[in-house]
Structure 1
Amino acid sequence: MKTLLPTSTAGSLPKPSWLAEPEKLWSPWKLENQALIEGKQDALRVALQEQKKAGIDIVSDGEQTRQHFVTTFIEHLEGVDFEKRKTVKIRDRYDVSVPSVVGTVSRPNAIFVNDAKFLRAQTDKPIKWALPGPMTMVDTLYDDHYKSRKDLAWEFAKILNQEAKELESAGVDIIQFDEPAFNVFFDEVNSWGIACLEKAIEGLKCETVVHICYGYGIKANTDWKESLGSEWRQYEEVFPNLQHSNIDIISLECHNSSVPIELLELVRGKKIMVGAIDVASNTIETPEEVAATLRKALKYVDADKLYPSTNCGMAPLSREVARGKLNALQAGAEIVRKELTT
């Protein structure tokens, strides 16, 4: 029987301190060679156990095997030079030193497929795997070759499609594409961003998600959010076209955000991952707070299409806080399940 309101995380979980420095993005590995491979697998087991213990319905690797949600994928591609770096403004809000595209991009080997097979072997639950979206990949690089964001994104979409098909074959049930850039570059999203995303999911039979949030709970993102005023209406710009796209599930930030919940009306009919956990705060939500967010969403999303989740990844949080938030997510979803079935 299909689970009503199946819970999941939108992305990362904190890494154990023996693998990488905790509560930090881009934290370097503390292990090397075979010890690193085994350490990543052990961390994946721990992340899976945390999710199982909390009762999370759709589990993931917690992104334990990668340093960063975009750059770890790019590191495995041909045509990108990590030594040749330039400073660019990412997501139109903060400067970062990034690698350069210096030639035709290609994927010589599968990137996350062995990790996904390992996760699949550890659990009978549905598994979700996250990949960077084409536009967000472009926005995390300096392009010294294609000289066209659209052309580079299209090449990345083809590469992502190769990886996604192999992940599906490895037993992944849901493939999520992380596109925070969709909340920034609206004209590009509507003119070619969604088309690139559809290229990335071409031919897939598993479910697909586009995750569009306002970013991790790091200062650059929280400062930006404070500048957006009392209503964050960015989703309004892209939801109408996403509603007509082939993407199955749309993931967005709801709890402790200023997103008007009625914007969900623009994607009625789609499955929605509703972010009911604030990843920019160390305060652990109460189950009732989670339930309140889900009840608001249910005015615009049919119950069989609502997937309670976190706003974004929890890598910058402590393991204790992340564990508490997972428990609250599941407990809040259970409150609403009972209301819907009694």
Structure 2
Amino acid sequence: MSTYSIATATLGTPRIGPRRELKFALESYWAGKLSEADLQETAVELRAKNWERQKARGIDRIPSNDFTFYDHVLDTAVMVGAIPEAYGWDGGAVPLSTYFAMARGNEQVPALEMTKWFDTNYHYMVPEFSPDQTFRLASAKPVDEFKEAKALGHHTRPVLLGPVTFLALGKSMDGGLDPIALIDRLVPVYAELLGRLAEAGADWVQIDEPCLVLDLDEGTRQAIRATYQALAKAVPSLKIMLTTYFGALGDNLETALSLPVAGLHVDLVRAPDQLDAVAKGLRPGQVLSLGAIDGRNIWRADLVHILDRVEPVVAQRGKARIEIAPSCSLLHVPVDLDQEDALDEELKSWLAFSLQKMDELAALGKALRSGRLSAAPEIEAAAKALEARAASPRVHDRAVAARAAAVTPDMARRARPFAERRKKQQASLGLPSFPTTTIGSFPQTTEVRKARAANNRGELAETEYVAFLRKETESAIRWQEEIGIDVLVHGEFERNDMVQYFGEKLAGYAFTKHAWVQSYGSRCVRPPVIFGDVSRPEPMTVEWARFAQSLTDRPMKGMLTGPVTMLQWSFVRDDMDRSDVCRQIALALRDEVTDLEQAGIRIIQVDEPALREGLPLRRADWPTYLDWTVECFRLSTSGVADTTQIHTHMCYAEFNDIIEAIGAMDADVISIETSRSKMELLEAFTAYAYPNEIGPGIYDIHSPRVPTVADMRELLAKATDRLDTAQIWVNPDCGLKTRKWEEVRPALEKMVETARAFRASAEAAE
């Protein structure tokens, strides 16, 4: 790799392609319409174009091995042979069928557990380890992709998930095993891989250890020290750029500085105050990678501010020992702002997507190498955009600010405690034991998507579109009645996305057409952009809820996305504290909740799947976050009568961390994902003696596999071992939007059958 004076680097880039090419190829492959060879060819093309785009934008340190078919943590598990026995791996080359079985499950085995990647909305597959775990180099993917890039003329810096973080993210299949204890078995595999990379011609490798921004015990710190001493000794010719992100090194700084690595990357967006301590502590010959451009948000960078901050460090350390990079991988932002045609030019001028962030990196590199005058046009354009945004009347609304300032503590409290509300709700709703329901959405079929697209293009009149949606809604309600679901949902056929649908109806939000980011696998989302003060101009869901309830005598749930999730799953303005933005959203939703109640909806679900993912990575910061997030949820839901039952939903989270906050939310019913963990996640609720009602999911909706009645009975039996039967609701893990009706129908029929069997047993025992 050539030597640069101030090198620019990316730590990873979006994998999906500018037009979601990977998503469509994967889904065609899974549907049997695309061969494995053609899928691999698509991957080759995507990687080649991605490397070329970075080179054209002036990036000096271009990564390889940042591409994956599904998830980079899953790739690492496969690479080191951490493949559970259930997947039938014979120890040879790992077939793509095995890889996707671990990701998605199949008719024989369920998928691995899935959870959020640190505090982002990206999901990773949780590795599983056993006490007799062995590791071996089962895949040479990092070497293969380095060679692939080299053949195209790109000398890349391969990216690896660090061995300590990999183990820390994993799950022990034996409760007594600390995965970090396996580090001595894993390090030789990494050493072998690094040796093969060096033989292939690599001179640098990027190893990501984001666990270094977490609260670590001394045992984990020692594992980190021993790991990098061993790797440096095993392959001394290969330079390691140790990469940290999502926060400050804090009390792990001394450990990071002690490691025998050639470079250290730090996040200066999340933790700008760590720069001086890091720069002072590094050895003279080490490279300091400055994560100065926000890799997780889409606002244009303040280039002047960045230069003011980093120029003294560059002068101190010398230009040859500095890299300018994003704070983290650009995986978390869309690909290219230039192809976005749903935003007005003013708003677009405030933004930067992945490719535009590379332009910002190039401008910073130019300014730091040759002086600010050399990048004067770029710096001036950025400054003007920032000034225009700050002065725009679109951003601030005095009425919204005044309302938020007038919030009182009583507004975030229900009138009476749960025990009293429960009696009134039981009398009003008349539900049986083990009541059945679903989380909200039903399959968005090809017909539904085509109708929506035609309506958006103006090819299907609004009256015809509404008539189509009403027909779909009534059909779903009649089917739910037929199979015997107790609390119905209307199916959400009119909704495009659980955040976008609401954001489109709120002031202060903007929406894109092509700004896709990966959530997991082929699942891509377009996060809304919160650019200004948020308010609700008019009701958002009331008419659909009223229509749905008019079709049935059974309770119909009103369905809303909660304020914390609306915040977390959006690109949030960076000129205001996130808690203040969330409070504005909560007040807008409060209006919707009370309007639903007035429209005759007696059960209202306010989903908060993102509450746990937003938890700060350091425990010392948890109380402040949980205080304002719980307050915002309660602010949105506490304006109703005792007889109105408030539900919430959470999924793919470690509830132990936030169980007291979940209790403080005071929802009458919470539904949670528990099927992949086989009800292990309920342990937090039982240890806490959670008093309210719970719907532990007994059907994994993220897998195409249709569970059997025996599967569901086993899970529900485990739930009854942990909870009072009077607390238990029966439901799937999550919404059914992404599934097919041929999967959903038999699964829900079996779910109802399971609930009825337990109901009968409970009644017989009385």
Normalised by the shorter chain, which TM-score bucket?
0.7 to 0.9
Contact 2:444 2:738 in 1 (8 A): no
Contact 2:499 2:528 in 1 (8 A): no
Shift of 1:121: 0.4
SS at match of 1:182: coil
1:211 aligns with 2:633: no
Shift of 1:209: 1.4
Higher strand share: 1
Shift of 1:280: 1.3
In structure 2, what is the Cα distance between the partners aligned to 1:108 and 1:20? Answer: 27
Higher relative contact order (CA 8 A, sep 6+): 1
**Bigger Rg, structure 1 or 2:** 2
SS at match of 1:34: helix
Distance 1:327-1:164 versus aligned 2 partners, 3 A rule: same
In structure 2, what is the Cα distance between the partners aligned to 1:85 and 1:153? Answer: 25
In structure 1, what is the Cα distance between the partners aligned to 2:665 and 2:696? Answer: 19
1:286 aligns with 2:724: no
Partner residue, 1:238? 658
Partner residue, 2:694? 272
For 1:203, give the aligned amino acid. Answer: G
1:151 aligns with 2:580: yes
Contact 1:182 1:238 in 2 (8 A): no
For 2:654, give the aligned amino acid. Answer: Q
1:198 aligns with 2:627: no
Contact 1:78 1:107 in 2 (8 A): yes
SS at match of 2:646: strand
Shift of 1:96: 5.2
TM-score (norm 2): 0.39
Partner residue, 2:683? 262
Contact 2:431 2:486 in 1 (8 A): no
Contact 1:89 1:96 in 2 (8 A): yes
Contact 1:5 1:307 in 2 (8 A): yes
Distance 1:53-1:242 versus aligned 2 partners, 3 A rule: same
SS at match of 1:211: strand
Shift of 1:286: 1.9
Shift of 1:100: 2.3
Contact 1:253 1:274 in 2 (8 A): yes
For 2:701, give the aligned amino acid. Answer: V
Percent identity between the aligned chains? 27
Partner residue, 1:223? none
Shift of 1:138: 0.9
1:169 aligns with 2:598: yes
Contact 2:672 2:733 in 1 (8 A): yes
Shift of 1:332: 0.6
In structure 1, what is the Cα distance between the partners aligned to 2:754 and 2:486? Answer: 13
Distance 1:21-1:320 versus aligned 2 partners, 3 A rule: farther
For 2:636, give the aligned amino acid. Answer: A
SS at match of 2:670: strand
- Cα offsets for 1:300-336 (capped at 9, x unmatched): 3222221100100111111111111110110010111
Q: Which runs of 5+ in 1 are unaligned?
A: 215-232
Contact 2:670 2:693 in 1 (8 A): yes
Aligned positions, number: 318
In structure 2, what is the Cα distance between the partners aligned to 1:96 and 1:254? Answer: 24
- Cα offsets for 1:130-176 (capped at 9, x unmatched): 21111111122223375221111111000111001111111212111
Partner residue, 1:313? 735
Partner residue, 2:557? 128
Contact 1:86 1:99 in 2 (8 A): no
Partner residue, 2:754? 332
- Cα offsets for 1:216-273 (capped at 9, x unmatched): xxxxxxxxxxxxxxxxx71111112222332111111111335513222125211001
Distance 1:158-1:292 versus aligned 2 partners, 3 A rule: same
Distance 1:79-1:178 versus aligned 2 partners, 3 A rule: same
Shift of 1:78: 1.2
For 2:700, give the aligned amino acid. Answer: D
In structure 1, what is the Cα distance between the partners aligned to 2:753 and 2:625? Answer: 36
Higher helix share: 2
Partner residue, 1:2? 431
For 1:191, give the aligned amino acid. Answer: D
Partner residue, 1:71? 500
- Report which stretch shifted further, 268-277 or 79-88: 79-88
For 1:209, give the aligned amino acid. Answer: H
SS at match of 2:629: helix
In structure 2, what is the Cα distance between the partners aligned to 1:34 and 1:54? Answer: 31
Q: C-alpha root-mean-square deviation of aligned residues, in Å? A: 2.5
Shift of 1:85: 8.7
SS at match of 1:101: strand
SS at match of 1:298: helix
In structure 2, what is the Cα distance between the partners aligned to 1:50 and 1:84? Answer: 34
Q: Which runs of 5+ in 2 are unaligned?
A: 1-429, 616-621
Distance 1:267-1:20 versus aligned 2 partners, 3 A rule: farther
Contact 2:563 2:586 in 1 (8 A): yes
Contact 2:442 2:493 in 1 (8 A): yes
Partner residue, 1:220? none
Partner residue, 1:50? 479
- Cα offsets for 1:173-227 (capped at 9, x unmatched): 211111121231223752321111000112212111120012xxxxxxxxxxxxx
SS at match of 1:135: helix
Contact 1:255 1:277 in 2 (8 A): yes
TM-score (norm 1): 0.85
In structure 1, what is the Cα distance between the partners aligned to 2:729 and 2:454? Answer: 33
Partner residue, 2:535? 106
Distance 1:169-1:147 versus aligned 2 partners, 3 A rule: same
- Which structure 2 residues correspond to residues 9-88 of structure 1 after superposition, within 5 A? 9-20=438-449, 28=453, 31-82=460-511
In structure 1, what is the Cα distance between the partners aligned to 2:689 and 2:545? Answer: 30
